[in-house]
Amino acid sequence: MQSLRETVIDEQKIERVRPLAPSAGAADLGNEALREARGQFMRTFASQCAAIAEPPAQTENSPSSSAHAIELLHRMAGLGGTIGFSRVSARAAELEETLRTSAVSRAELHDGIAALQSAFAEDAAEPAPVWAEPQILGASLTVLVVEDEPTQRAVIAAQLRKAGHVPVMVALGEEVLPAARQTRPDVILLDVELPGINGYAVCRLLKADRALAGIPVAFLSAHGNLDDRLEGLSFGGDDFLTKPLDGRELALRLQLLSKRGRRGDDSAAFGVLTYEAFCDRAVPQLRRERNALALIRTPADAASDVAAFTRDEIRRRDLCAQYDRTHVIVLLPDTGGPAARDRLASLVEKIRANGIMGVFAGIAASPEAGGRTLEQLLEDADAALAVARYEDLAAALHQDLPREESPTPSVAALVVVADDDPNVVRIVDAHLASAGYRRVLTFDGSRTLEEVRAQRPDVLVLDLMMPRLTGFDVLAGLRDMGESRPRVIVLSARGREEDVIRAFGLGADDFMVKPFNPQELLARIARLVR
């Protein structure tokens, strides 16, 4: 959660550059932006190639068809390598240079585009970068399979492993509850015809156990008529599958069931709210009186249990929600910060005493009605939570944190990012946010000069190819700022020797060529700030 976001966005570009999702953890903001840019690049590649081959009809104020194609290729060359399409980046740079330096026939242009498309196919066939794998809940599920027939168990286990899931196998109904408590599965596949306790009775026991009630249960049976399905659902089952199982149908139903289970993990029947419902109640409450807010960190496989336990331990008027897969959030009306810290420390110790380790709490307080917004309290509570985890405290209060030890510095370095490609801006902005910098975003050279003179940033990350004024014009315009001139890193797809020499001659401090590594850019910025 970032408390020092100061982003200035050209109003004409607001539709093109969306603000970073507040739900993204600070450590993953950069990767999230890279994933987003990679996905958009892959979705729009074909249309970009078509636009290069057949540019839109020229109007009086529009650029020439050649200039339009050069601009598209320039962006493709600059972004492609950064997001894992190095071959596309190289082919785009070659075609851009050809269009800049010589006349190209339509046949030659189409050959160049064919080379681009071939490069895209080769890059797409390569294993995706590690950061490109989104952290999606349920991508790999733990599935508890209750089946007494050995051959059926083996077949189902093989299907689950092929789909990337982790099967946990038991043969008897008596083994289900202990196995579920131990493994915390995402889904339970439960045979109806079991020796001893049958599947219906097992399901009833599962749904009566508060800690296990949120786990989706799908019945398995060789009998799939309407009466059987209705009976299974009446016992609390979430789905009814008929043997023999088709692997593709099983994979799809498991994903649907796991999503249903995550929604059900809010345990609304036990007073735990969804985050949306929590916000609806918390925002008016913050306006009425003083409040304290607690953010509880919990292991992902125990979040629903921690949420239900917390709801049982707090007052009736307190609000509790599962914020995400590893956090529970609590609002304590008419409660001061120290009192909330003591209550949460006691709560965390009780949770740990019940065998759930790795639980910590961060607390922030609003001393008067309307004193702090929900977003501000969340940011402060997250900062306190970081300290609690680092110092191994059950709970930490934000106002107790020494200023110099706060995870977010009181005055962070300010960086202006100037680039007309919204995908590049989003990637750089996200990585700067994760590193704790304040940021100002601009999309043309004229606005960049205005913001640098007004904001007096520490560092300027500057593209050379921008509308209104080029990066070279901006560098020349900064000369009259004297000692208040920022340190400048040029970040450009133009890496020819004459461009580098000219940029350094105009006062640039560093030069990086696109495609670029965002972590290397952060390291260079940190060096200039120091």
User: What is the per-residue pLDDT across 26-37, written as a single tens digit (0 to 9) for each?
Assistant: 445 667 778 778
Residues 200, 356, 171, CA angle at the centre, nearest 5°?
30
Mark whether 43 and 72 lie in a shared domain.
yes
CATH code for position 242: 3.40.50.2300
Confidence of residue 411 (pLDDT cuts 50, 70, 90): low
Mark whether 195 and 307 lie in a shared domain.
no
Domains identified in the chain, total number: 4
Q: Confirm whether 441 is domain-assigned.
A: yes
- pLDDT at 452 exceeding the cut of 70: yes
Mark whether 277 and 396 lie in a shared domain.
yes
Pairing state between β 395-397 and 360-366? parallel
Mark whether 282 and 380 lie in a shared domain.
yes
What pLDDT is stored for residue 224 in this prediction? Answer: 66
What pLDDT is stored for residue 12 in this prediction? Answer: 37
H-state helical runs in 126-149: none
Of 264, 289, 318, the residue at which a domain comes to its end is 264
Mark whether 283 and 205 lie in a shared domain.
no
Q: Confirm whether 186 is domain-assigned.
A: yes
Mean pLDDT, the chain, whole residue set: 81
Q: Confirm whether 237 is domain-assigned.
A: yes
Amino acid present at 147? E
Q: Which of 224-228, 382-386, 432-436 has the lowest mean pLDDT?
A: 224-228
Length of the chain: 530
What pLDDT is stored for residue 18 in this prediction? Answer: 35
Mark whether 437 and 519 lie in a shared domain.
yes
Mark whether 184 and 281 lie in a shared domain.
no
Of 405, 430, 449, the residue at which a domain comes to its end is 405
What value does the mean pLDDT take over residues 236-245? Answer: 81
- pLDDT at 260 exceeding the cut of 80: no
Q: Which of 224-233, 271-280, 290-299, 440-449 has the lowest mean pLDDT?
A: 224-233
Q: Confirm whether 15 is domain-assigned.
A: no
User: What is the per-residue pLDDT across 147-170, written as a single tens digit (0 to 9) for each?
Assistant: 998 878 888 888 888 777 888 999
Mark whether 118 and 180 lie in a shared domain.
no
Residues 219, 220, 224, CA angle at the centre, nearest 5°?
95
- pLDDT at 182 exceeding the cut of 80: yes
- pLDDT at 261 exceeding the cut of 90: no
Of 79, 96, 131, the residue at which a domain comes to its end is 131
Mark whether 87 and 205 lie in a shared domain.
no
- pLDDT at 302 exceeding the cut of 50: yes
Residue 438 pairs in a beta bridge with 414
User: What is the per-residue pLDDT across 480-522, written as a single tens digit (0 to 9) for each?
Assistant: 888 889 999 999 888 788 888 899 999 999 999 888 888 889 8
CATH code for position 315: 3.30.70.270
Mark whether 397 and 452 lie in a shared domain.
no
Instruction: Measure the CA–CA gap between 113 and 376, rounded to whole angstroms.
Output: 49
Mark whether 316 and 229 lie in a shared domain.
no
> Range of 514's domain?
414-529
Q: Confirm whether 6 is domain-assigned.
A: no
Mark whether 393 and 448 lie in a shared domain.
no
- Residue 229 CA: distances (Å) to CA of 223, 250, 261: 9, 17, 20
Instruction: Measure the CA–CA gap between 461 and 346, rounded to whole angstroms.
Output: 48
